Amino acid sequence: MRMLLFTYLLFSITSLSASTPKIDSLLQVLDSKYINKNDKDDKNNREKGKLLLEIAREYRGIADTIERKMYILEALDLAQKTGMDSIAGDAYFALGNYYGAVGQLYNAHLNFKRAEKIYQKLNDTKRLCNTYYNLKLMFYFTEDFENAAYYAEKLLEIADKQYEQDENMKTFIFASQFVIGAAHFKDSYSEESLQYFSEMFQKSMSMHLSLFYTQILANECAKICLHLNRPREAINYQNIALQYYEKRNMPIMPVQYAYIAKAYAMLNLTDSAEYFLNKAVDSPISKNDEAKLLIYLSQSMIDEEKGNLQLSIEKFIEYHFLSDSLINDSKSEEISRMKNWQALEQKDKENEILQQEKIKQKKLIIILTIALPLIIVLFIISIIIYRKSVTKNSELKRMHTVKDKLFSIISHDLRSPVNSLANTLKIANTLTIDTENKAKLLKNVSSRVDNAYGLIDNLLIWAKNQMKEIEPTPEYFNLQPQINTIITDLQDIITDKSIYLENKTENIEIYTDKDMFTVIMRNLITNAIKYSHSNGKITINVDMSDNNLVISVKDNGIGMTKEVQETLFKMSKTKSQLGTNNETGTGLGLVLCAEFAKKMGGNIWFESKEDVGSTFFFSVLVNNEKQNNGK
């Protein structure tokens, strides 16, 4: 009976709109105003969504048709596509009503809960109250009093806060209190329960609430009175309930007639009992299980009063068989319902988890789409910073090496010849020596002065270059005369070793930095003299190809070991070997040569074989623009 009543109630109460225009006229409005209109128009979409739900409500008034569900789902789809939360909430609420009416309680509960989440988000207390009201009714009429009381308490919490602003909330408050009491007095037919429902009944009458609550309370009071063997009071309450059912022509009246018949049978008023019993039997839904139970029991009582004991026993046996069968069916149905509910709930949780995972994946894709370019940019910046850091560290390391080398040169390579020179001069001033020894001494002093001068000259030029003050300043000059000038400056040490030096260069006019060129040539020729034996030979050659000038300085001296070759042109690894007359060096000159050759757009390299000799080459990118223009 409770389920039938719930189905009827979902047809007749708790709607979000009181207006019920005809379906045909509503469909005409839908076709004329909203079909094939711009989906980006928010106002148009909102009005269309409301109209679709209104059409669905009108279908609810006639039957639970597929059309009703179709229009609800169309409204929901529109709301989800356009982000209209209020329309989506109303659509879920309507789906809850639809599934409740067709007996799919799990789906009804699921959609009511979805509506609840949206209404909570929108802080829409009125719609939340309607949602909790329907959930409370659904569980109450399916005799799940625990859940019914839970939603009744949630409804009561909101309704209490809104009571002063909205008097309509008094209905919700009353309904919540009734359900909480019903859950408390479940299957309790005591004086205490009768007193509670009787007081609620009187309150309903005095507050002029809907006849629905008056009927429900009257029916509860009547059943308790029958269990307490107070049939006259039961008849009074049932008559009030009957007025409600008859007024609305609800398909539940045979149960009420059967209750009245039982009450009259208990009073031994068989005529009245048979009258209402016949009305219950003649009702179109007299096969309702609860009605059948009451009919069997009332008929048994009437037959007993009339003395028809055999018929009374037969009806009583039928009553007990049906009662036991219904109890077993009810248990099986409850077990099956719970299993289905749990299975559906588990499936829903899995779907929800799957949806959450999809949302997380979409968010992750969006984050990666946004973050990936930033990560790439940061990675590139990190590489640049790292390279700069490495370059800076390399530069610092090189500068430390240069500093160490500089101090080494000053403290040893330069200090040693200067000290030696000072000692030689001191000896010369304090001792009396003959002319021959004096000449030898002066020659030694001259040699040491030349070495020290060359070292200081290289050191100053290199230090200036390290400070980045030297940049190429090209000018026109003749190659052969410039080399001859360098040879003349070195003539003393060439003559001292009896070296034959041949300059095979041509009188070519070139355009490059003259000072850098001179430093390179002087260092290469000086090294060739240093590592040549007495009576050795040095040859200077030139090869000119387009704008590339290659000069070579070849000697037939001691050559270089592989160990020495590996350290050439590197400031941090320079390792000079002694000359054939024990001349000292630092390797700084070749470092300068390499740096200047590079600045002049060229390069420097060598070929050497131990005890055979060495040949040094250096190329210079020269500009013959003047010559070309003169052609």
Give the model's pLDDT for residue 47. Answer: 86
- Stretch (H or E) spanning 538: strand 537-545
Stronger pLDDT, 211 or 580, i.e. the higher one = 580
Give the model's pLDDT for residue 327. Answer: 59
Domain ranges of the chain: 466-630
Mean pLDDT, to the nearest integer, of 98-117?
86
Mean pLDDT, to the nearest integer, of 366-385?
74
pLDDT, one tens digit per residue, over 57-72 is 887 766 557 888 888 8
Which residue shows structure tokens 């629905």? 212
Mean pLDDT, to the nearest integer, of 116-145?
86
DSSP state letter for 542: E
Lowest mean pLDDT among 174-183, 352-361, 410-419: 410-419
Mean pLDDT, to the nearest integer, of 609-622?
88
Residue 540's pLDDT band (cuts 50, 70, 90): very high
Give the model's pLDDT for residue 549. Answer: 84
HSE-CB of 485 using CA atoms within 13 angstroms: 11
Give the model's pLDDT for residue 117. Answer: 92
pLDDT, one tens digit per residue, over 242-300 is 777 666 666 556 777 788 888 888 888 888 888 888 887 776 654 556 667 777 777 77
Give the closest residue to 618 by CA, choosing from 543, 567, 507, 515: 543
pLDDT at 447 over 70: no
d(CA 532, CA 563): 19
Give the model's pLDDT for residue 516. Answer: 84
Stronger pLDDT, 475 or 578, i.e. the higher one = 475
Lowest mean pLDDT among 442-446, 579-583, 617-621: 442-446
The whole-chain average pLDDT of the chain stands at 76
Number of Cβ within 10 Å of residue 125's Cβ equals: 17
pLDDT, one tens digit per residue, over 554-602 is 999 989 888 888 888 776 555 667 788 877 666 777 887 888 888 888 8
CATH 3.40.50.1700 for domain 466-630 = no
Burial 214-245 (b: 16+ CB within 10 A, else e): bbbbbbbbbbbbbeeebbebbbebbebbbebb
d(CA 57, CA 21): 10
pLDDT, one tens digit per residue, over 11-48 is 344 333 333 456 777 777 777 766 555 556 677 888 88
Please state the length of the chain.
631
Give the closest residue to 475 by CA, choosing from 512, 450, 448: 512
Mean pLDDT, to the nearest integer, of 121-146?
85
Lowest mean pLDDT among 86-100, 177-191, 517-531: 177-191
The answer for residues whose C-beta is within 8 angstroms of residue 245's C-beta and 6 or more apart is: 215, 252, 253, 256
